[in-house]
Structure 1
Amino acid sequence: MRPRHWAGSNKASAMTPSYRLKLIYGGLLATVSLAACQQHAAPSTTAAATPSVAASQAVAQTPKPIRTNPDFGGVTTQHVEVTATGPTLEAAVDNAIRMAIEEVNGKQVSGGTAQFATGVSASSGGQSADVSSSAYANWVASATSGAVSHFQLLSQKQVNTPTSTDEESLKANQGASWNKGNVDASASANASGGDASANVAEGVKGSWDQHQGAAQVDYQGKHTEYASQWEVRIGADVATYREAASAKLTRVVVAQPQVQGATFQVGDNTIPADSIASDIQSKIAEALTQTHRFTVLDRTADAQINQEIGLIQSGNATPSDTARLGQQLATDLIVIPTINRFEYVRHEQALRMANRTLVSYSGGGEVSFRVVNAATGQLVMSQSFNYAFPSTEPTTMGVSVDGNKLASDMMDAMDRSIITSILQSTYPLSVLQLQGRNVVINQGGDAVQEGATYQAVNLGKPIVDPQSGQSLGPMETPCCSVQIDRVTPNLSYGHIVEDNVHMDASFTPGSMELRKQIAMNTPSSTTASARSEQHAKPHATAKSKETPSTNDSNW
């Protein structure tokens, strides 16, 4: 047989025309079939991939919100798993539920939960409850007033637990002993009766020699009594209250200002002292709240708060809201204002010759405040402010003064001074961003005045007093003047006034702070509106004087 050659061109030349046609036809069919399969498969692949690609693009293109929702706290749940024992299965579950609540919310529970143990047997009608049933889980949520939800019995078993144990022990030692001796004894007796007589004689003679070795006794005994108990492990979602982030700030209570009298005479108005005190209290609390540096607690709303607590305890609120009970915050600091003087007195002098009366006004106010540590009673800050009203010249033109307007202006100025003093000792105005000469300040609201100019300092290394060991704060180097251009509720925007100030390119946020106010574009001071019967006199500007403060830099 002639061998066949299939390599290279010899393969093609060896094929017959009919065989070559079959190969070509088969190749065409295979190509057409493969193309058809790809056409049918392509749409399904594209359809399956399109949603995932679109979803990923949508996620990538969705920007994160710049401003988050306000956080006021609220009720949430925490999942815990607890193991407990009890003489019965129901008692073991009861103990486990108590432990779960205490683990999340502490040992102080609501009144409904405290009565939970007696409710177990009552709910089951004296019969053994099926603690693994969904009905029992629903009953647990009801019996705990919503404190426990999604209850689940994970495991249960009977175990022998020791109830009492008695222990005995005895230790004694005895040395070797030797006992030996001799005995030699005799006895006789005579007896007679009539013609008969008897004589008896006995004797004992011998010796003994006894040896006993050393002995040691060591005895220990233990007796334990056991009782059969149930051991269960449960899983439960326990309702708990989540505090708002602002609750972690320093907590402050503004006390009702102390006053020296029942009324204040301001101009032509007699104003009740309680009204002035209440206004000062609310203005200080409002200004401290706007700083966003403190959590201000309102003690004037205790009646309304107690009403809401009563609503929860009555059972008319959502069961899970019982976690809100016992969440009232205690304060860290108490601000105690004192109104030492508050007057604008009318002076009259009769002119006998002209039968007319000279009228003038003079006066001012003095407000001091103390900041006390509520836990220790420590006085951490004390300062007072004097405020002088403009005196009017004596006139016979029928001068009158709006006392309410003067009182309002003076309270605004005093409150602003108090807030500025507290902030300066705790959270000074700080520069967060520096771009060229433009600055962004970390404070807004009423604590910063638009158009005002503040002295700025650069902060250096902290200094520690070698005598007391306390930190005196960082070293301060005068820098420049910063003028406030725009004030928002949380931030302020301004610029460096001087042209020749050169700052480092790598500015560290907080390395520059603002100190006392040195100038204002638009003076906002208290004015006395003294109006004549025929014309109105120009408003006079009042001057505010501050006395040196006593501050603790570490509070």
Structure 2
Amino acid sequence: MKNWITWVILSAALVACGDKKEESVKVDSDKPNLTGTPDVGKVEQVEVKTTGTGLTPSAAVSEALKSAVMQVNGTAVDASSASVNISAKATAQLDVQSKNGSDSVKATEVVNSQAFAESVVTQSNGVVSTFKVDKLTPPKSNGGVYVVDITAKIAKFKAPADAGKIKIVVAPIKSTQQSFNIGGRNVPAHEVLEPIRQQIIESLTKTGRFTVLDRDFDSDIESELMMIGSGQTSQNDLAKLNQALSADVIWVGAVNSLSYDRMARQLKTSDRELVSYSGKWSITQRLVNLTTRQVMLSDTFKGDFPTVSPTTLGASINEKTSVANVQVEVVKKATESIMQKTFPISVVSLDGEAVVLSQGEGAVVEGGQYKLVKLGKEMKDPQTGQSLGNIETECCEVIVNRVTEKMSYGQLINVKVKLEGIEPGVLQLRGKVQAKPAEPSPQAAATGDKPKAKSSAPAEKTSAPVAAEKPKDKDW
């Protein structure tokens, strides 16, 4: 009796072990993520049930498989492609063995066999991972059709998580001019404008807030996709076809003006020239909703080229540096405007007065001092019902001491509100704080003494030469 009880207990224990479900692994949100593999999407298997009809068993099975592939991967799949005709070889013998379906008993026997299912899976080269005929219904009368119900697992491409972000295309910048006058030389427009476009693509990509779509290397991408479509790769890769993303918004830019003029006059009393340089630039950007064509954002950026006063000392400019400075300024202003409109910089972590900001490179600079506001109640227009934004209360300032690609770190100063209990995102950045001149100490103010100026670092060198004295009127 005692041995029998022991045997029952052991049996129950073994059954419990066998039925024990795998415990889910708890993830501590405070611990770093050490498995940050880039998400480029993957091919997964999707189970689907479909029905096909045909004059023969083979035609019915082929139609059912075609329907399964198109149901999983979309109706955009070409009906003549290999991905929807994977059963042609596997079902060829079916019609032979069943005498084109006239022997319905044999047809049912073949399609229900393990060998037939394995043949379909093998010859699909990865498109189908499992296959089963649930039911084969013969024609009810002469000239009727076979009806087949199947269950299959079909390869499907799962898009990366980034595909859920706002998808943006940066279009080439437009200009009515073929070239620009830069210091007396005509520089081709694409040499000036294309670097701006490429830098905006790079800048928006680094923010991590957009899925930036490529439109420059279409031919190279199509070449790779053709390899898949022609069967040179595993047919499991067929699920990658027809997966291109379309844009949600398009960035467009246009040059209003851009010229850096060289002006020269010959002196009357000598063979020398009086040379000077000056110029302006103006570029407009727009963010357009692709579907509705609504203009979501429109800005015009303006600036001046360094002015070189009239001189006879052989003044010259550095054309590449002058253009590069404009390019950098346009990219900086464009990115800041887009991010402020779509994703304002916010405090995502607050530990005392140490903070982490939601954006990094391209959004803030190391050593920069910025104003922060605390968001309050949302206000709505009583006439339209549209949101007017949130009430903002001056909070503090933040000095950025470290910048990474997607985040930045800083220290709060001049805090005017209570920081306890503030949730991530409630504190938002509102522009850079301009440096204020040092105020005199109380003692200096009492005595009337002016504060001594601190020694400053040497002034940055500029490409513009120092202007010489203007010539006298008699030289003209």
Q: TM-score range by the shorter chain?
A: 0.7 to 0.9
TM-score (norm 2): 0.78
**Residues 87-486 of structure 1 correspond to what in structure 2 (within 5 A)?**
87-110=55-78, 111-115=81-85, 122=92, 126-128=96-98, 130-133=110-113, 136-137=116-117, 139-141=119-121, 144=124, 146-156=126-136, 158=138, 230-267=146-183, 269-486=185-402
Distance 1:264 1:329, change over 3 A: same
Specify the code of the residue in structure 2 equivalent to 1:80. V
Q: Which of 22, 42, 56 is residue 74 of structure 1 equivalent to?
A: 42
1:101 Cα deviation from its structure 2 partner: 1.7
Q: Which of 489, 494, 497 is residue 413 of structure 2 equivalent to?
A: 497
Asked if the contact 1:268/1:403 (under 8 Å) is kept, the reply is no
Residues in 2 aligned to 1:78 and 1:360: alpha-carbon distance in whole angstroms: 71
1:462 Cα deviation from its structure 2 partner: 1.1
1:469 Cα deviation from its structure 2 partner: 1.7
Residues in 2 aligned to 1:463 and 1:317: alpha-carbon distance in whole angstroms: 57
Asked if the contact 1:438/1:495 (under 8 Å) is kept, the reply is yes
Asked if the contact 2:48/2:151 (under 8 Å) is kept, the reply is yes
Identical aligned residues as a percent: 35
1:413 Cα deviation from its structure 2 partner: 0.8
Please say which structure displays the higher CA radius of gyration: 1
Q: Which of 406, 412, 429 is residue 514 of structure 1 equivalent to?
A: 429
TM-score (norm 1): 0.67
Distance 1:373 1:456, change over 3 A: same
Asked if the contact 2:58/2:95 (under 8 Å) is kept, the reply is no
Residues in 1 aligned to 2:136 and 2:92: alpha-carbon distance in whole angstroms: 22
1:79 Cα deviation from its structure 2 partner: 2.3
Gaps of 5+ in 2: 1-21, 99-106, 437-455, 469-476
1:334 Cα deviation from its structure 2 partner: 0.6
Asked if the contact 1:112/1:145 (under 8 Å) is kept, the reply is no
Specify the code of the residue in structure 2 equivalent to 1:516. G
Q: Which of 463, 466, 474 is residue 529 of structure 1 equivalent to?
A: 463
Specify the code of the residue in structure 1 equivalent to 2:428. E
Q: What is the DSSP-based 3-state SS (H/G/I as helix, E as strand, rest coil) of the residue aligned with 1:99?
A: helix
1:528 Cα deviation from its structure 2 partner: 4.8
**Residues 25-36 of structure 1 correspond to what in structure 2 (within 5 A)?**
none
Specify the code of the residue in structure 2 equivalent to 1:320. N
Asked if the contact 1:268/1:401 (under 8 Å) is kept, the reply is no
1:108 Cα deviation from its structure 2 partner: 2.7
1:480 Cα deviation from its structure 2 partner: 2.0
1:319 Cα deviation from its structure 2 partner: 1.0
Distance 1:408 1:320, change over 3 A: same
Q: Which whole-Å deviations, capped at 9, do the CAs of 1:135-160 have from their partners, x for residues lacking one?
A: 54454346656422322334445585
Asked if the contact 2:286/2:297 (under 8 Å) is kept, the reply is yes
Q: Which whole-Å deviations, capped at 9, do the CAs of 1:334-379 have from their partners, x for residues lacking one?
A: 1001122222211112222133212111112111111111112222
Q: What is the DSSP-based 3-state SS (H/G/I as helix, E as strand, rest coil) of the residue aligned with 2:313?
A: coil
Residues in 1 aligned to 2:347 and 2:91: alpha-carbon distance in whole angstroms: 65
Q: What is the DSSP-based 3-state SS (H/G/I as helix, E as strand, rest coil) of the residue aligned with 1:259?
A: coil
1:91 Cα deviation from its structure 2 partner: 3.3
Range 322-331 or range 135-144, more displaced: 135-144
Q: Which whole-Å deviations, capped at 9, do the CAs of 1:94-114 have from their partners, x for residues lacking one?
A: 232123223312223241244
Q: What is the DSSP-based 3-state SS (H/G/I as helix, E as strand, rest coil) of the residue aligned with 2:67?
A: helix
1:520 Cα deviation from its structure 2 partner: 7.0
* Structure with greater proportional strand content: 1
The Cα RMSD (Å) is 3.3
Residues in 1 aligned to 2:54 and 2:467: alpha-carbon distance in whole angstroms: 90
Asked if the contact 2:257/2:282 (under 8 Å) is kept, the reply is yes
Distance 1:290 1:65, change over 3 A: closer
Distance 1:123 1:307, change over 3 A: farther
Asked if the contact 2:310/2:467 (under 8 Å) is kept, the reply is no
Specify the code of the residue in structure 1 equivalent to 2:132. Q
Asked if the contact 2:50/2:67 (under 8 Å) is kept, the reply is yes
Gaps of 5+ in 1: 1-55, 161-224, 535-555
